[in-house]
Chain A
Amino acid sequence: MQDTLRDNTYITKNIAVLCANGGDVRHSTDAFSNPFHWFTLDNPRLLTKAAEALRNAGARLCMITAYNTRQLGDPMQQVCYHFECERAIINITVILNGEWPTVPSITPLFANADWHEREMMELYGIAVANQPNPRRLFLDEELDQGLLKNSVPLSVMMNGASSSALWERILSDKGAAS
């Protein structure tokens, strides 16, 4: 495992300094000895620096994952950026909260970040600063932004399908029409 980590010294060193004050660094391998590096940045603003270091090292952006870390109440969200560099996967996580609500766009550095950023904007309502192309990706403009961020009451989601509410509404509409 130490050998596989040594290959990526430049990256691990350059990004580890961005995680020194409250961030986190760890390393793992899978069953086939492929290395994975996990970094949690001190704050989202440092993402641009991390992305620049990765770009200089010839890394490729694989994916960006946004997720909620609390289901209800606490609005904390995290975004994990997955890069590939010399057979290692480098995962960079940023934490978004009341103090740091936005994440900078990395599309100027990695062109393929555009679709990922637009997807997390429309599904999770994440604010991406300076996104050069902030249009909807898959969902129509009529749908609210950040659908997966909101909790929908079960009664609203079911639209009265498990009770008599829907049936009564149809009956009353029918009565009003005739």
Chain B
Amino acid sequence: MNTYTLPLGPVHVALEEPVYFNLTVEGETVRNVNLTSGHVHRGMEAMAAQRNFVQNATLTERVCSLCSNSHSFTYCMAVENVTGLTIPRRAIFLRTMAEEIKRIASHLFNTAIQAHIIGFKSLFMHTMEVREMVQDLKETVYGNRMNLAQNCIGGVKCDLTPEKFTYILGVLEKVEPAVDELREIFATNSMVIGRTKGLGLLPKADALRLGVVGPVARGSGVAIDVRKNSPYAAFPELKFNMITHDDCCIYSRTRVRLDEIFESIGLVRQCCRMTPEGPTTKHLQRVPVDEACARSEAPRGEVFYFIRTYGTDVPQRLKWRVPSYMNWEALGVMMKDCKVADVALITNSIDPCVSCTER
């Protein structure tokens, strides 16, 4: 059978952001995947080298929308590492809480988009409705639905009153059974199962070879989670499980995300109970000439920041790597010999973020 090249994107109804696939197709079957990106490259790392440390907390929060909090969080940790700043305990817990609330919303969004691509519109709307409760929570507590602006160098900006903690616990009481219901649908509905089980395979050996992280790695049985492997913030004091599934398919990755939502709900509840009284910020004293790294577990996996200072209030170099950066290459393995109709669904299963990748 003859092969031909099928272009997909950069603007496509099933792609959230612009990316261009050149698929080598034989009949209905994809034989090779070639990826061209760069449509939303904004030169953010060059911009960061022209802004001071405080301005960069705002800039890094705008790298991405769904994991915006993870960027400012990790950036602040990198600055704190390079300056030797230890933040107050209350701030450590409040940061952790904001991060986990964002994770719940991010995982629900990805799951909703999966239902949308499958064509299961009512499930898409149902999932988005559940997510809306978390969006309302963010708006009520932080004043913003997406960019929480919670992290600052030395602590957090938004302190929470006891009433807010009670409110959060109340919302989680409603979110938890709703997500449980969703998990049941995603696990048993024949339409969802038919499109996700056994498709988009990423064997464990390939996951390790390509260095993928986050739910993509954990869905292929690779036990990697920065919160467990290299604990930071309040995670060493909190109880939670690392979720892994080893089916290596789209369904496996969705299960990791849905199960993780329950772990995140548990983490937020623990934070509500355990957050100690005290100050929420500490002043930055001086900036030495040095370099430091920091990493954290964003909803999509490990976010890595490197900062190099030369004694001024502007970094000499600020570099970051997002989880999607490696996950794109894994698509080549996942799409090998898949049907053209499954390309968008497989792409969604890595929870892709183009803005993050290209910066």
Contacts and interface: CB of A to CB of B under 8 A. Distances in A.
A1 interface: no
Contacts of B209: 111
A91 B308 CA distance: 13
B107 to A, nearest CB: 23
Contact of B294 (A30, A112, A116, A136): A30
Contact of A65 (B233, B294, B317): B317
Interface stretch (B60-68, B185-193, B321-329): B321-329
B38 A65 contact: no
Interface in B75-101: 77, 80-81, 86-87
A91 B86 contact: no
Interface string A126-146: 000000000011111000000
A118 to B, nearest CB: 11
A34 interface: yes
Given A114-B329, A138-B38, A31 B81 contact: yes
B10 interface: no
28 contacts: A28-B292, A30-B81, A30-B232, A31-B86, A32-B231, A32-B236, A34-B231, A61-B211, A62-B302, A62-B304, A62-B321, A63-B306, A63-B319, A63-B321, A65-B306, A65-B317, A67-B317, A82-B293, A82-B304, A87-B229, A112-B210, A112-B211, A115-B326, A115-B329, A136-B38, A137-B38, A138-B37, A138-B358
B41 interface: yes
Interface in A107-121: 110-112, 114-116
Among all A-B residue pairs, the 7 with the closest Cβ atoms: A138-B38, A112-B211, A67-B317, A63-B321, A65-B319, A138-B41, A87-B230
B46 interface: yes
A80 interface: yes
A84 B217 CA distance: 15
Given A30-B292, A62-B321, A63-B319, 12 more contacts: A31-B81, A31-B87, A32-B232, A32-B236, A63-B321, A65-B317, A67-B319, A82-B306, A112-B210, A115-B325, A137-B37, A138-B37
A36 interface: yes
Contacts of B232: 30, 32, 34
Interface residues of A, number: 31
A23 B325 CA distance: 31
B152 to A, nearest CB: 16
B316 interface: yes
Contacts of A138: 37-38, 41, 358
B295 interface: yes
Contacts of A82: 293, 304, 306
Interface string B295-314: 10000001010101000000
A84 B80 CA distance: 20
Contacts, number: 76
Q: Which of B81, B292, B293, B325 has the most CB of A within 10 A?
A: B293
Contacts of B320: 63
B293 A89 contact: yes
A36 B292 contact: yes
Contacts of A171: none
Interface residues on B, range: 35 or more
A32 B358 CA distance: 30
A61 B86 CA distance: 28
Contacts of B292: 28, 30, 36
B229 A89 contact: no
Contacts of A34: 230-232
A60 B329 CA distance: 16
Nearest to A32: B232
Contact of A139 (B41, B81, B210, B295): B41
B211 A60 contact: yes
B329 A80 contact: no
Nearest to B231: A32
Contacts of A140: 38
Contact of B326 (A31, A32, A112): A112
Interface in B186-229: 209-211, 229
Contacts of A148: 46
Q: Which of B80, B211, B232 has the most CB of A within 10 A?
A: B211
Interface in A43-93: 60-63, 65, 67, 80, 82, 84, 87, 89, 91
Contacts of A89: 293, 295
A36 B87 CA distance: 19
Contacts of B293: 36, 82, 89, 91
Contacts of B294: 30
A17 B101 CA distance: 46
B41 A111 contact: no
